[in-house]
Amino acid sequence: MDQTLTGKVALVTGGTRGIGAAIARELSDQGADVAISYASSTQKAAALVHEIEAKGRRSAAFKADAADTGQVKKLIADVVSTFGRLDILVNNAGLFHYGLVTTDAHEDDLDDLYAVNTDAVLTGIREAGRVMGEGGRIISMSSGLSTRTGAVGLADYSASKAAIDGFTRGAARDLGKRGITVNVIGTGPVNTEMNPEDGPISDWLKGESAVGRYARVDEISAAVAFLASPRASYITGSVMMVDGGIAA
């Protein structure tokens, strides 16, 4: 395997399951030492750390609530303190919300949605930009719903993700002269336990896709690994759609 990330330190937020765990495994396969953050899955976090360390990589798990920007700031500082540096940040932690704009939403639910999907990501980018050096990579997981909802009830979720796309373009300008790239991956439906390919709306989602299926987690993690690699050094301020053609 071409281990293009040897010597790099990566942080994957929300890295204990699904897409996040697949990204952590992929980056470690490419040679990176990998830190993960988690909110509650202590056992899963410990198991993944053990799995990565068994490959000969350094790894550590940090409990951090993405809804609290203070904890996000501390997370970045703790990773740098533990590993000595931070080269790759993958903003993966996120929440999903469904509800019509005319329906009374539970205020706490919307506060958490924007705190995790938007504020935590923007804070992570700011903090990582302060500590990264030449060749730094910041990659945020977004959604094709940031540009095309395709259904009712998705306004708040779409807005929380669209903010990431816009902030990324500006951050890419701010950090580009220092050799740090900032990009977004916009996903379509991905087969995870939170959104299984045989779930209640899976037939509709498959029908929206040009390829007629859900993505595998390794198809998403491969895109992340590419953007994290030296081969992607001229890609910044971009939204890479890995959505099976839903936005086509």
| Catalytically annotated residues | 157
Amino acid occupying residue 74:
K
Chain CA centroid to CA 93, Å: 6
Phi, psi of 189 (to 5 degrees): -70, 135
7: left (phi over 0), alpha (psi -120 to 50) or beta: left
Q: Does an H or E element contain 114, and which?
A: helix 107-114
**Among candidate residues 9, 118, 124, 107, the one with its CA nearest the CA of residue 70:** 124
Residues forming beta bridges with residue 141, ordered by sequence position:
185
**Among candidate residues 31, 26, 48, the one with its CA nearest the CA of residue 139:** 26
CB of 111 closer than 8 Å to CB of 93: no
